[in-house]
Structure 1
């Protein structure tokens, strides 16, 4: 089970390692090296006392702490004080979670996305969208009050994963002279089949779709829509699938 939980994104973690002072492989205890072989990414060792060594790392897209006992055994989990309070959340946030969030947001910003809304709308929400995805269309509809009010801009990171013609439909949007208009055409006409697929997917559009799909996977999304926004505390809020209606004000902010 542990090995299954350690699938992680080389896109994010390679970038994260550049910004930290990682523990060197030569210094790694055998138990930690064994965990690395199963997919754990160790970012940095940190001090905890009590005869333990501690390593901040990432499993999947989740920050984890690995504690090494004096007899060389590794423990993965949460260290608690005598009152049952977690001790190392702040250091994990500093060493792992915050840099990961910043890197992920930078990658989203640099992705080939399509704007939906006013470019100066203060709230930015990224959504991995497939032109054939009914839940993406529902999310698009649900966002209209905030988008139309100029409160939110959706940035659609297009992928083609649902049907055989999804890549060609996504390419038709990416290659359009007015990409926002093409996106809206697909959404408004979704029940009638949406936008006409591109006759041929250009190399540029194909590269964008491949990069977008890789980014989607790196952020832990296996389907659409995959929704990402900032939480106001330096971290990210990630939602898999269509949010419940009552959660939309929390996602988008007040109208």
Structure 2
């Protein structure tokens, strides 16, 4: 039993693939809402945890990106349903999801730069609110009020977190929190491109890369 051999718990084995030209098998397991990737030798007793570089590719990184893109496709309609508001620059022809927390300091510092990047690249920004309650106790109430008050992108840029709570807002934020857990987004700011590629943190150059 793999769990007993490795002395770790995981939910399920997602896939197993032999790596051509080696005597290793790549194993992907679902664990704690995310993915863990390791490599097994034929003896069933020897394992490698870490990324392996072969033929110009870091195998674990490439596999993780593929799994994340698959998750994105599976949950696309649900992701769209938790978008709180969006920004559409003139002539936009692509989109990204921006996952943010009202009280995330780095989100606040970079939100104007994100808009500048979107304007320059003609990319729609679909904003998903993900209050990280353990770090920011007031963020959930702010997020709910934002939905209930019909917050727009300009309000977000100017930090106008006002209004009253409502059942619609509570549901949307609860759904957002649950869905981000399902697709293994646990930090802000995070970005998901229309093609399912992800970026944690803000970098104009890395955003350029995920929309290609």
Q: Normalising to structure 2: TM-score of the pair?
A: 0.70
Output the CA distance in 1 between the equivalents of 2:90 and 2:147.
18
- Relative distance call for 1:169 and 1:97 in structure 2 (3 A) is closer
Within-5 A mapping of 1:34-183: 34-35=5-6, 38-39=9-10, 41-47=12-18, 54-58=25-29, 61-62=34-35, 64-70=37-43, 72-77=44-49, 85=54, 93=62, 97-107=65-75, 110-111=78-79, 112-113=82-83, 114-118=85-89, 121-149=92-120, 151-161=122-132, 163-176=136-149, 178-180=150-152, 183=153
Distance (whole Å) between structure 2 residues aligned to residue 87 and residue 40 of structure 1: 31
1:217 offset after TM fit, Å?
A: 3.7
Q: 1:123, 1:195 → 2: CA distance?
A: 28
Question: Which residue of 198, 203, 206 maps to 1:237?
Answer: 198
Encode CA deviations 1:106-144: one digit per residue, 9 max, x unaligned.
535532112122497233222221223332232220022
Q: What secondary structure, in the 3-state scheme, does the structure 2 residue paired with 1:216 have?
A: helix
**Segment drifting more, 31-40 vs 160-169:** 31-40
DSSP-derived class of the 1:205 partner: helix
User: Which residue does 1:8 correspond to in 2?
Assistant: none
Moved over 6 A (4+): 87-92
SS at match of 1:139: helix
From 174, 185, 210, the equivalent of 2:155 is 185
What is the CA–CA distance in structure 2 between the aligned matches of 1:172 and 1:147, rounded to whole Å? Answer: 26
Gaps of 5+ in 2: none
Do residues 248 (structure 1) and 204 (structure 2) align? Answer: yes
Question: Is the Cα–Cα contact under 8 Å of residues 167 and 209 in structure 1 kept in the other structure?
Answer: yes
Which structure shows the higher strand fraction?
Answer: 2
Asked whether the 8 Å contact 2:142–2:161 carries over to 1, the reply is yes
Asked if the contact 2:72/2:196 (under 8 Å) is kept, the reply is no
Q: Is the 8 A contact 2:51 2:60 kept in 1?
A: no
Aligned residues: 203
CA–CA separation in structure 2 for the residues paired with 1:41 and 1:207: 30
Q: Give the gaps of 5 or more residues in structure 1.
A: 1-29
Residue pair 1:42, 1:55 contacting (<8 A) in 2 also: no
| Bigger Rg, which one | 1
- Partners of 1:87 and 1:65 in 2: CA distance: 19
- For residues 50 and 124 of structure 2, the distance between their equivalents in structure 1, rounded to whole angstroms, comes to 38
Deviations 1:13-44 (A, max 9, x none): xxxxxxxxxxxxxxxxx235644852264223
1:195 is matched with: 161
Q: Deviations over 1:196-221 (max 9, x none)?
A: 142x331x322221222233344544
* TM-score of the pair, normalised by structure 1: 0.60
Structure 1 CA distance for aligned equivalents of residues 57 and 117 of structure 2: 38
